Amino acid sequence: MLVRFTKMHGLGNDFLVLDTITQKVKVNSALVAKLADRNFGVGFDQMLIVEPPSDPDMDFRYRIFNADGSEVEHCGNGARCFAKFVRDKRLTAKETVAVETQKGPIYLTITEDRQVVVDMGQPVLEPQQIPFSADQQAATYPIDVAGQTIEISAVSMGNPHGVLVVDSIDTAPVESWGPELEAHPKFPAKANIGFMEIVNRNSIRLRVFERGAGETLACGTGACAAVVAGQLRGLLDPGVTVQLPGGALQIDWNGVGQPLVMTGPATTVYEGQIFL
C-alpha cells in the first residue's frame, strides 16, 4: 500500500510523522527499523504516530518509536513537531491541543511567531518511578562507569534520564560513556544520558545519548531533565537556555511540584509517499 508521511525535525532531531487518522497503517518494530535506515530507508531518529485518542477529553494520541524499533514514552522535540503537523494538516484548528501519551496528557501550543510551547508536566524524581536503583531520593547518586565512580542525577520526564555535569561537552566522553550508562544496571529500563556543561546560572550546553537512537542533535526531554538536575544541585536558576548541537531551547521550571515548560521550533522538511 502507498502511505503518505512527513519528514520533520526539531533542532536537527529528525522524525518521520505518520497520520493514522486519515489513512490506515499498521506499525511494528521491524517496519520502523527498516524505514529508519539512513541508507536504505527514509532515515530518522524517531517515528511519530498520530492516532485518535482513547480518552474523550484528549484531541489526539501520540506514540513514539526509536530508530531501533523500540517504543518509548515521550519525546519533547517530537511533541513540537506533532503540534505543527496536526495544525498544518488541518486535523485541528485549536491553538492548544491536548495529547495523550503513554505517560499521561501533554498540552501543546503554537505561538504567533510559530514557536511551539509544550507543557511537559512535572518531573519524576522518586527512584522507583524513574526507574533507577537507589534506596532513597537524592539530587545525585554515585554510579560506576569506565572503572571509576561519578555522580549522576536521575530524572524521568515520562522517559528515564541520567544527567552528569562535565567541564566541556566538546571533550565529554559521550561516545564511550553514553552506551555504557544507557544500559547501566542502575537503569533497569535503560536511560537517555545527558552531558551538561554549565555556562552560567541561566545557560547550559548539552549533548544527549538517547536510548535506542544514539547521540542526537537535540533532545527535548533531555533538556528538561538537565535543567531539573542543575536546579536541584543548586547550579541553575529558573529560566534556562539550553544550547544543543542542533540549536537552542528555552526551559522554564519553578521547582518541585511545578511543571516544566519547553519553548522551541519545529520544522517541516518534506512530504513523501512510500510503498509498504
Residue with grid cell 489526539, as numbered in its chain:
60
Which listed residue (50, 75, 143, 229) is catalytic?
Answer: 75
Is there a catalytic annotation at residue 81? Answer: no
Q: Is 74 helix (H, G, I), strand (E, B) or coil?
A: coil
Report in angstroms the alpha-carbon separations of 33 from 16, 44, 47. Answer: 12, 10, 10
Contact between 1 and 276 (Cβ < 8 Å): yes
Residue 47 has a CB neighbour count (10 Å cut-off) of: 25
Is there a catalytic annotation at residue 224? Answer: no
Contact between 214 and 195 (Cβ < 8 Å): no
Largest CA distance in the chain: 54
Which listed residue (172, 219, 227, 229) is catalytic?
Answer: 219
Report in angstroms the alpha-carbon separations of 78 from 1, 17, 71, 219, 221. Answer: 26, 9, 13, 9, 10
Catalytic residues: 75, 219
